[in-house]
Amino acid sequence: MHALRQRQCMLHLRCQICGEETFGRSDERYLWLVAGSEPLQEGEESWSPPVHESCAAEAVRYCPHLRKSHVAALVDAPMFWGVAGLVYDPETLEPLPGEDDDGLTHVSFADPQLRWTVAARVIVTLHGCTPVALDDLVGAAV
């Protein structure tokens, strides 16, 4: 996902597919959709912005990563946690090796390393997670 679009979507809780607001569900929750097979856990970190139900169905149909496997959850409260980025050594000013699959390190807003980090993505933690089957959710909305 484009770094600027990711930050804009996350900061304003806009849909990562269409870019429109995700506020307004009758249950006042947010739908989270990520690639993978493990259910989203309480307090889990995520850099994927929320999605609309109809956009999630489209994403699963056309995105090869999501088509392979995906999980979804309704989330009560996404909380801003930190960033994923390149951390530089304050002594050598050289970039340090990243910790995740993309070569980025997750740094919380409270971590002193934040001042030595060039952020690529905003990370939230997900609270009040209820795993949902996307097919059930999209089917119920039609």
What's 103's DSSP letter?
S
Minimum separation from the CB atom of position 21 to Zn ion (A): 9
Q: Alpha-carbon distance 50 to 14, whole Å?
A: 7
- Binds Zn ion (CB under 5 A): choice among 7, 9, 14, 17: 17
Minimum separation from the CB atom of position 135 to Zn ion (A): 18
Q: What are the CA-CA distances from residue 77 to residues 64, 72, 88 (Å)?
A: 28, 15, 31
- Binds Zn ion (CB under 5 A): choice among 8, 13, 18, 86: 18
CB 85 within 8 A of CB 116: no
Strand runs labelled E in the chain? 30-35, 45-46, 70-87, 105-108, 117-132
Q: Considering the rule CB under 5 A, would residue 52 count as an interface residue with Zn ion?
A: yes
Q: How many residues bind Zn ion (CB under 5 A)?
A: 5
Measured in whole angstroms, how far is the alpha carbon of residue 46 from the centre of its chain? 4
Nearer to Zn ion, 18 or 120 (CB): 18
Q: Considering the rule CB under 5 A, would residue 14 count as an interface residue with Zn ion?
A: no
**Candidate ranges 31-39, 49-57, 95-103, 111-119; the one touching Zn ion (CB under 5 A):** 49-57
**Candidate ranges 7-15, 30-38, 62-70, 92-100; the one touching Zn ion (CB under 5 A):** 7-15
Q: Alpha-carbon distance 122 to 89, whole Å?
A: 21
**Candidate ranges 54-62, 97-105, 106-114, 124-132; the one touching Zn ion (CB under 5 A):** 54-62
Q: Considering the rule CB under 5 A, would residue 72 count as an interface residue with Zn ion?
A: no
